[in-house]
Amino acid sequence: MASTLANALGFFRDFGVFDVILPFLLIFTVVFDILQKTKLLGDDKANLDAMVAFVIGLLVVAATKVVAIINETLPQVMILVVVGLSFLLMLGIFADPKKSFFEDLSDGFRVGLMIFMTVSVVLIFLANIKTSGNESWLEYAWNYMTSYWNGAVVGSIILFIIVIAAIWLVIG
């Protein structure tokens, strides 16, 4: 016997809420917030920021492959967020109650946590973006790296690590 909530979710799925409306709202909100925070289009240009975010949101929704990637990736990213928050809550239990939790953490730990979460989100996206052969980009990169592991690949990886380390030293 189907429940009322299951029927409502089925109605929303048939109506296109999950394939059109929610991805549009997500992209619109994220782009609008980025434009507002960076003031890329100028100060007090909320109308212009909204129009640009609206157009980008519509363009993303028009590309069905992008919406499919978003719908596949977001649940996995949310699991990562829940695990990260649970980890931080567990650490917060042992924090000094007289200080803020983030004051108690070292800068290296915060940077390491941000790098770990960013790399994890990138890997989740790479695992969900498919090539024409229905293989994920992450699988393709792994297969390529294991098949052609030679001096050029190793040299490229070492150069990439050196460039990232140099940027990190200059910035921070």
Confidence at residue 93, expressed as pLDDT on a 0 to 100 scale: 80
Cα separation of 81 and 24, whole Å? 21
Confidence at residue 150, expressed as pLDDT on a 0 to 100 scale: 74
Confidence at residue 45, expressed as pLDDT on a 0 to 100 scale: 84
Give the chain's mean pLDDT. 85
Confidence at residue 57, expressed as pLDDT on a 0 to 100 scale: 93
Q: Within 13 Å of residue 169, how many CA atoms lie on the same side as its CB? A: 6
| 107's tokens | 């800068």
- Which residue ranges make up each domain of the chain? 1-62, 70-132
CA angle 130, 134, 138 (to 5 degrees): 45
| 55's tokens | 């157009």
CB 70 within 8 A of CB 26: yes
Give the predicted TM-score (pTM) of the model: 0.65
CB 138 within 8 A of CB 149: no
Contacts of 3 (CB under 8 A, 6+ apart): none
Cα separation of 129 and 31, whole Å? 21
pLDDT in tens, 94-147: 776 777 666 666 777 778 888 888 999 999 999 988 888 888 898 988 888 778
CB 24 within 8 A of CB 60: yes
Contacts of 143 (CB under 8 A, 6+ apart): 135
Cα separation of 162 and 32, whole Å? 35
Task: Pick the more confident residue, 2 or 20.
Answer: 20
pLDDT in tens, 67-77: 888 888 989 99
